[in-house]
Amino acid sequence: MVEKRRIELMLCAGTGCVAGGAFQIIEGLEKEIAARGLEKEVSVVQTGCNGFCGQGPLMVVIPDNIFYGWLTLDDIPHLVEEHFLKGRPIEKLMFTPPEEKEVLPMLSDIPFFKKQLLVVLRNKGIIDPEKIDDYIARDGYVAIEKVLTSMSPDEVIEEVKISGLRGRGGAGFPTGVKWKIASQQKKTPKYLIANCDEGDPGAYMDRSLIESDPHAVIEGMFIAGYAIGSSEAFIYMRTEYQLAVDRMKTAISQAREYGLLGKDILGSGFDFDIEIREGSGAFVCGEETSLIHSIEGDIPEPRQRPPFPAQEGLWGCPTVINNVETLANVPVIITRGADWYSGIGTETSKGTKIFSLVGKINNTGLIEVPMGINLRDVIYDIGGGIPDGKEFKAVQTGGPSGGCIPADLLDAPIDFESLQKAGSMMGSGGMIVMDEDTCVVDVSKFFIQFTNDESCGKCVACRDGSEALLEVLTRITNGEGREGDVEFLEELGETIKDASMCGLGQTLPNPVLSTLRYFRDEYEAHIKEKRCPALVCRNLIQYYIDPDKCIGCLKCLKNCPANAILGELKYVHIIDQDKCTKCGQCLEECPPKVSAVIKVTGNDMDDLKQLSEIIPVPKKKKKKKTE
């Protein structure tokens, strides 16, 4: 057990913060603490993902509960001396909400954390994920003891059924019902698979969950295994998530050491063990029948259902496949009771949901909120709104299978049904925020590119249909859209939905269909007016230097990769539109005070062309100065 210290530094060691240099910070802190002889008083704890990834590398100082973000190695000596030695917290490193001056020292004051409700992530940032004792100290593995000593498998299933828990992988199938089907099957052995093949772009809930609390997943798997009568379980993880895989390996070996996995657990006669299987980068493997094929070493293509995996799955045996987040809910339901759990959320969607809040938003990170919270609260209160005072445009939920939800539906509650009604879906929980600078046609094209790439090729509708969608979308973004393209996209989208076998194909047109529903005018602007309202699609925009603003500093000219800018020092620069590749470098280079480079689209382009012809030779800037 860890000795109690005066100050504990909970340093986030999730992938985001590690990439930001968290391990170097930890090393630096330990060195500095040792140099000042504080080892007995201050300890550094590596926790899993804290969630506030946009601020990483970050730490929380316990017991004061002070939050420090954006740490650098240079801050450390000052921090250790001022705060840990002299007891004066440093304001400079604390969180200040954008557009406000007041710093918020305490973790609990920061709006990002305030509106969250931590059920699944109850241990995030509080325990060291690589120490089983930490988990046990937070009532870990109590649920295992409870089910083994006082509950029959049927009672466990009943409890989960009453709790109203639904699958967190996307479709939202009631977990208790799935377990019931598997437990009724006569064939043995039965298998349990935890699905952590999180392939959605823009989503990292499962990875963070395992990085911050792997034992909760193990405990959930154990209970599920007990309920359905399975002694062999697999956890299928993406090989790209190396840190999560390593932590899971550590956690499993610790649980074995403690006798919580293996033969005859806690003297109950029940055997249970978990094996890790890694995927190798195929999105379709998140689909349950493909996943089964992948574990079997077969071609990971989906197959027709029924029979459902719960009836006939891995090696033809009954198999329950649950998302890891679903499984991490189970121990809480057992220890705190189904009634408590079903008190959270809405009529049809119970409990909480983890989302990864990313894109054009101030506070990017991982959040857990009760079902039924509305999108406005998530984006403006927790997410802190849109950066740089830009306008909110839409939020994309459910990844490539989901759809865009526009601004006027911001007050809709987040639950399985209402998201579906809005043309999107819960999905695994990616939430990508887009502002006015995001072109919805371009984003749709991006998603179709993704699904087209990842389609396994088994069904014609998905394989060739996505290709056809992509062709039309590319045409539209290139400014070659034709009359009737919008209607064609709609018709094709519906066909792909109807004619595909697995979830990937059935949902792949969603991004297109939902944006067509809410942003049809943008598609039409691309097609009819050859105009990209968000100024994104390259063939439809032009960069242009405002002659009234340009100070002739040569900055853009020197950095232009295509040598498309003409001009001299103190002469107004002109962009040669024939050479310009529209990379946007000049816009980045132009000093913010000057901001002479602008983007234009549609009819505005023609107006500006004339201007640049009027001043073919750079004119002297001196005249301007005398004005």
Within residues 26-55, the interface with another protein by CB under 8 A covers 53-54
Examine residue 69 and tell whether it contacts another protein (CB under 8 A): no
Examine residue 585 and tell whether it contacts another protein (CB under 8 A): yes
Give the interface segment with another protein, choosing from 39-47, 84-92, 292-300, 502-510 (CB under 8 A).
292-300
Examine residue 56 and tell whether it contacts another protein (CB under 8 A): yes
Which three-class secondary structure state does DSSP give residue 41?
coil
Among candidate residues 358, 384, 379, the one with its CA nearest the CA of residue 369: 379
Taking the least distance from each CB to another protein, the nearer of 154 and 498 is 498
Structure token digits, residue 310:
């719960």
Give the interface segment with another protein, choosing from 113-121, 155-163, 235-243, 417-425 (CB under 8 A).
235-243
Distances (CA, A) of 326 to 108, 118, 132, 348: 27, 14, 21, 16
Contacts of 22 (CB under 8 A, 6+ apart): 11, 12, 13, 56, 57
Taking the least distance from each CB to another protein, the nearer of 140 and 302 is 302
Within residues 392-411, the interface with another protein by CB under 8 A covers 396, 399
Measured distance CA(274)–CA(609) in Å, rounded: 66
Site track for another protein across 420-449, x = CB under 8 A: ----------x-x-x---x----x--xx--
Please answer whether residues 593 and 544 qualify as being in contact, where contact means their C-beta atoms are separated by less than 8 angstroms.
no
Distances (CA, A) of 323 to 170, 237, 328, 330, 448: 9, 11, 9, 11, 25
Taking the least distance from each CB to another protein, the nearer of 17 and 566 is 17
In a 10 Å sphere around its CB, with 0-12 CB exposed, 13-18 middle and 19+ buried, how is residue 298 labelled?
exposed
Examine residue 155 and tell whether it contacts another protein (CB under 8 A): no
Examine residue 204 and tell whether it contacts another protein (CB under 8 A): yes
Measured distance CA(342)–CA(273) in Å, rounded: 30
The residue within the footprint of another protein, chosen from 124, 190, 207, 247 (CB under 8 A), is 207
Contacts of 407 (CB under 8 A, 6+ apart): 392, 393, 394
Taking the least distance from each CB to another protein, the nearer of 431 and 572 is 431
Report in angstroms how near the CB of residue 3 gets to another protein at its nearest. Answer: 33
Give the interface segment with another protein, choosing from 162-170, 265-273, 456-464, 502-510 (CB under 8 A).
456-464
Contacts of 79 (CB under 8 A, 6+ apart): 68, 71, 90, 93
Measured distance CA(175)–CA(594) in Å, rounded: 58
- CA 448, 414, 125, 382 torsion-angle sign: positive
Among candidate residues 373, 367, 380, 381, the one with its CA nearest the CA of residue 349: 373
Examine residue 347 and tell whether it contacts another protein (CB under 8 A): no
Examine residue 277 and tell whether it contacts another protein (CB under 8 A): yes
Give the interface segment with another protein, choosing from 98-106, 222-230, 353-361, 474-482 (CB under 8 A).
353-361
Measured distance CA(504)–CA(519) in Å, rounded: 23
Among candidate residues 148, 235, 229, the one with its CA nearest the CA of residue 198: 235
The residue within the footprint of another protein, chosen from 125, 331, 359, 481 (CB under 8 A), is 359
Report in angstroms how near the CB of residue 509 gets to another protein at its nearest. Answer: 12
Taking the least distance from each CB to another protein, the nearer of 43 and 585 is 585
Give the N- to C-terminal CA distance of the chain in Å, as an integer.
76
Report in angstroms how near the CB of residue 135 gets to another protein at its nearest. Answer: 23
Task: Give the containing element (helix H, strand E) for 335.
Answer: helix 324-336
Give the interface segment with another protein, choosing from 99-107, 168-176, 212-220, 358-366 (CB under 8 A).
358-366
Report in angstroms how near the CB of residue 447 gets to another protein at its nearest. Answer: 8
Taking the least distance from each CB to another protein, the nearer of 69 and 164 is 69
Measured distance CA(277)–CA(377) in Å, rounded: 38
Give the interface segment with another protein, choosing from 198-206, 347-355, 419-427, 479-487 (CB under 8 A).
198-206
Examine residue 278 and tell whether it contacts another protein (CB under 8 A): yes
Examine residue 279 and tell whether it contacts another protein (CB under 8 A): yes
Among candidate residues 217, 195, 190, the one with its CA nearest the CA of residue 284: 195
Structure token digits, residue 538:
């390259």
Please report where in the chains the tokens 């195929």 appear, as a residue: 282
Report in angstroms how near the CB of residue 187 gets to another protein at its nearest. Answer: 16
Examine residue 461 and tell whether it contacts another protein (CB under 8 A): yes
Give the interface segment with another protein, choosing from 28-36, 167-175, 273-281, 471-479 (CB under 8 A).
273-281
How many residues of this chain bind another protein (CB under 8 A)?
70
Within residues 482-541, the interface with another protein by CB under 8 A covers 491-492, 495, 498-499
The one-letter amino acid code at 368 reads E
Taking the least distance from each CB to another protein, the nearer of 15 and 123 is 15
Examine residue 316 and tell whether it contacts another protein (CB under 8 A): no
Binding site for another protein (CB under 8 A): 15-16, 18-20, 53-54, 56, 198-204, 207-208, 239-242, 277-283, 294-300, 315, 356, 358-360, 364-365, 396, 399, 430, 432, 434, 438, 443, 446-447, 450, 453-454, 456, 460-461, 464-465, 468, 491-492, 495, 498-499, 559, 561, 583-585
